[in-house]
Amino acid sequence: MERTQELTKQVLEEAGLNWKQLDGVLLVGGATRMPMVWQYVANLDSVSFTSAIKIQDVMSHSLGMVAENEERSRYINENQLKDFSGD
């Protein structure tokens, strides 16, 4: 459990975030069945959590979000280029 806590802290630090900035936590995979994982997240006052045991469901949803964000970024970049080129 200590390793999970350290990795979680590291991910938040690298993202420049803290727990209070999160809307929630999605618990995914086999380890989320362990009560100690639920207790760890439950002890974080500012965070609600949901469990999704099927990692395939989470991955497909996440990949959809990534694709949507990439498309949005591409659209923004194309329009910014047009603004600079005078078109």
Q: Are 71 and 49 spatial neighbours (Cβ–Cβ below 8 Å)? A: no
pLDDT, tens digit, 9 for 90 and up, residues 9-32: 898 899 999 888 887 777 777 777
Q: 7-37: b or e for each residue (b if 16 or more CB lie within 10 Å)?
A: eeeeeeeeeeeeeeeeeebebbeeebeeeeb
Q: What pTM was computed for the model?
A: 0.49
pLDDT, position 85 = 47
